[in-house]
């Protein structure tokens, strides 16, 4: 810490007590206007700013929210951050962002750091690795307000904000079928996160409703660009290769697209591809990537609103709320 001015410094220079300075600065009615003026002027000259650390201790509140996300790099999470920050700033709160980098261990450390720093509430989107949720339960037990979003685990007694993953997936797969696809592959996330489970259900139900039997050999657990680049070539070389692909996020879809282009497979004529996210990237590939918009900004906003509701109502235990943000299929030329 630097050499910052305190009310004690001001009090000494002015020959008054620290309580007078404190009151003068907060315009307490008891203080004479002369004293106020003197104090405020000196505070200004010295560049006094209240020590927030002291105030946090005093008030037992930090006016800070913790936000734990897997990776800032993801366009989706960047938009979530904006939503969170906007609502937080409206409420005069700061936001501390932590990246778990998809590591369970780091996620636990992040959350512990936030708890130690006594943030007033925590927003979490779980890492891919997270199966044990005792660290989340700890937050709940400590009665720290918490909201999970996007990457959640069901059956946890907390507020959650998710996308309508089921419907998003259903609509996307249905669109592929309408466009003529018969063999549709899905690149999805592990099913322990509800995001993986629900999208897979949407995929399966869309197939069933169109009288297409689910072919387990078309279900791939793959959700990164690099992995997609790794596994797609061999899939595209299969004699019974898929004619449609639905991927869990845009970069995974783009991995499929890049591989197909390298193999000179025509999109959308020979294969069609849909992503999930509707990131900037979806708009700059050739062809453009049809993608399910997740409205990350809205997710961030809703989650933060829910969190503030908890923060401001801590006394009475109320039932967990679940919010679901609608998705929207954005059509481009990959389908």
Beta strands in the chain (DSSP E): 64-69, 94-99, 121-124, 146-149, 159-163, 184-188, 219-221, 244-247, 272-277, 290-293, 322-325, 328-330
Asked whether position 94 contacts its own copies by CB under 8 A, the answer is: yes
Picking from 76, 82, 77, 71, the residue whose alpha carbon sits closest to that of residue 278 is 76
Stretch that binds DNA, among 25-33, 152-160, 241-249, 297-305 (CB under 7 A): 25-33
Stretch that binds DNA, among 29-37, 237-245, 251-259, 306-314 (CB under 7 A): 29-37
- Residue from 40, 46, 51, 102 in contact with DNA (CB under 7 A): 51
The CA distance from 191 to 195, in Å, is: 7
Picking from 111, 142, 141, 113, the residue whose alpha carbon sits closest to that of residue 126 is 111
The CA distance from 70 to 50, in Å, is: 34
The dihedral built from the CA positions of residue 74, 70, 199 and 213, taken in this order, carries a sign that is positive
Asked whether position 7 contacts DNA by CB under 7 A, the answer is: yes
Helix axes 296-311, 75-90, angle to 10 degrees: 40
The CA distance from 43 to 30, in Å, is: 19
What character string, x for contact with its own copies (CB under 8 A) and - otherwise, covers 98-127? -x------------xx-xxxx-x-------
CB of 147 to its own copies, least distance (A): 15
Asked whether position 316 contacts its own copies by CB under 8 A, the answer is: no
- 332's contact among DNA, its own copies, none, with CB below 5 to 8 A by partner kind, is none
Other beta carbons within 10 angstroms of residue 199's beta carbon come to: 29
Residues contacting residue 174 through CB under 8 Å, at least 6 positions apart: 206, 209, 210
Asked whether position 286 contacts DNA by CB under 7 A, the answer is: no
Asked whether position 61 contacts DNA by CB under 7 A, the answer is: no
Stretch that binds DNA, among 1-9, 211-219, 257-265, 320-328 (CB under 7 A): 1-9
| DSSP 8-state class, residue 102 | T
Stretch that binds its own copies, among 35-43, 57-65, 123-131, 300-308 (CB under 8 A): 57-65
- Residue from 24, 85, 125, 172 in contact with its own copies (CB under 8 A): 85
User: What residues from 252 to 291 belong to the interface with its own copies (CB under 8 A)?
Assistant: 254, 258, 261, 280-281, 284-286
Picking from 65, 70, 105, the residue whose alpha carbon sits closest to that of residue 86 is 65
Asked whether position 29 contacts DNA by CB under 7 A, the answer is: yes
Asked whether position 178 contacts its own copies by CB under 8 A, the answer is: no
Site residues (CB under 7 A) for DNA?
A: 6-8, 15-20, 22-23, 25-26, 28-32, 34-35, 48, 50-51, 54-55, 57-58, 60
């Amino acid at each position: 810490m630097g050499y910052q001015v305190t009310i004690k410094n001001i009090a000494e220079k002015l020959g008054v007590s620290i309580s007078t300075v404190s009151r003068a600065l907060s315009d307490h009615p008891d203080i004479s206007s002369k004293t106020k003026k003197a104090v405020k002027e000196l505070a200004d000259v010295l560049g006094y700013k209240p020590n927030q650390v002291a105030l946090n201790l005093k008030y037992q509140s930090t006016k800070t929210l913790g936000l734990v996300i897997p990776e800032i790099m993801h366009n989706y999470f960047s938009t979530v951050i904006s939503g969170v920050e906007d609502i937080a700033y409206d409420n005069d709160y700061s936001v501390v962002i932590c990246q778990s980098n998809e590591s369970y261990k780091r996620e636990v450390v992040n959350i512990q750091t936030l708890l130690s720093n006594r943030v007033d509430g925590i927003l979490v989107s779980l890492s891919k690795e997270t199966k044990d949720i005792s660290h989340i339960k700890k937050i709940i037990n400590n009665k720290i307000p918490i909201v999970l979003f996007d990457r959640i685990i069901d059956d946890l007694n907390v507020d959650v904000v998710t996308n309508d993953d089921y419907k998003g997936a259903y609509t996307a797969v249905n669109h592929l079928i309408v466009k003529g696809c018969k063999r549709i592959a899905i690149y999805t996330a592990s099913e322990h996160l509800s995001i993986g489970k629900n999208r897979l259900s949407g995929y399966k139900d869309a197939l069933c409703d169109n009288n297409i039997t689910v072919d387990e050999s078309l279900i791939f657990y793959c959700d990164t660009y690099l992995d997609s680049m790794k596994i797609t070539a061999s899939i595209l070389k299969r004699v019974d290769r898929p004619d449609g692909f639905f991927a869990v996020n845009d970069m995974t879809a783009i991995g499929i697209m890049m591989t197909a282009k390298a193999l000179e497979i025509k999109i959308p004529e020979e294969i069609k591809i849909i992503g999930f996210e509707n990131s900037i990237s979806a708009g700059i590939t050739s062809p453009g990537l049809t993608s399910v918009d997740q409205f990350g900004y809205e997710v961030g906003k809703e989650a933060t609103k829910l969190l503030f509701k908890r923060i401001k109502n801590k006394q009475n235990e109320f039932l967990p709320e679940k919010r679901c943000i609608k998705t929207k299929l954005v059509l481009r030329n990959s389908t």
